[in-house]
Structure 1
Amino acid sequence: MFTTDRPFSSFAVPDVGEAVAFYRDTLGLDVTVYDEMGGGFTIALPGGGHVFVYPKEDHEPAVFTILNFSVDDVDAAVDDLNARGVTTKIYSDPDYGTDEKGISRGFEGGPDIAWFRDPAGNVIAVGEMAPQMMGG
């Protein structure tokens, strides 16, 4: 029977080792690697839930945001990510109204947000998300 009590998200990467290093070592997330299931891994999200990341040799990066991190201060978060070697200026000003740090400040009524890419080219966001955007 279909139930909705254990949902999770997933996305692909071409190089699991590189992705594990990025999500675990660069971003500081709790990662569990599996030898079974084709060698993927899970990311334990601090607020609860998990994301399964699986290998796909012919992976093409998502053209949309696959993972969002809500923060109280996007400027501080961007500074921290930049210090870790993460590039946050991935869009030019006309695309999303981003500033020199790569932060879009309330573009079209949205939150202050910045985007960056994982080693596979997938888009990740960090921003001052409204509680309703996170189900709260």
Structure 2
Amino acid sequence: MLGDSKAFSGFAVDDVERARTFYTDVLGLDVSVDAEMGFIRLALAGGGSVMIYPKSDFTPATYTVLNFPVPDVTATVRALAGRGVQFTRYDGFGQDEDGIARGPQGPAIAWFSDPAGNIMSVIETADDANAS
């Protein structure tokens, strides 16, 4: 029934302008602003998008809200760190000096947060999911 729907995801932040600056200037994403509605939209590879909206009683989720598949997680982590992104360390994941978890449970992955505290990841893929 919904197989042809152009679904999109969304999550909240406490400050839309601060989020816009981070997603544009730090992550290098294409961000559009809907000033009338008060939200921003991230344009993603493959035609997808994510809506980010303000919420006055915002509390960040305790789980990953957005994953970025990349072909080389080490290069991506180092490039983002060079732009000021700090990577989160979690107990039990055996992360390396760059904050990347590598192990038998899955692909190489590193987590970081946006200025509102929403958890994101860069996750290594065998094929570049951004090319599809």
- TM-score under structure 2 length normalisation: 0.89
Matched residues, number? 129
Match of 1:91 in 2: 89
Structure 1 runs (4+) deviating above 4 angstroms are none
User: Per the alignment, in what secondary structure is the counterpart of residue 28 of structure 1?
Assistant: coil
Write the letter of the residue equivalent to 1:98.
Answer: Q
Q: For residue 29 of structure 1, report the CA deviation from its aligned partner.
A: 0.5
CA RMSD across the alignment: 1.9
Aligned with 2:99 (options 102, 105, 128): 102
Alignment of 1:48-63 (within 5 A): 48-63=47-62
Write the letter of the residue equivalent to 1:61.
Answer: P
Between the aligned partners of 1:57 and 1:99, the Cα distance in structure 2 is 37
Q: Which runs of 5+ in 2 are unaligned?
A: none
Q: For residue 36 of structure 1, report the CA deviation from its aligned partner.
A: 2.2
Match of 2:123 in 1: 127
Write the letter of the residue equivalent to 2:115.
Answer: P
Match of 1:67 in 2: 66
% identical aligned pairs: 51
- TM-score under structure 1 length normalisation: 0.86
Between the aligned partners of 1:75 and 1:35, the Cα distance in structure 2 is 36
Q: Deviations over 1:46-102 (max 9, x none)?
A: 2321100000021111111111111111110110000000001x124x332212211
Higher strand share: 2
Between the aligned partners of 2:73 and 2:117, the Cα distance in structure 1 is 21
The structure whose RCO (Cα within 8 Å, separation 6+) is larger is 2
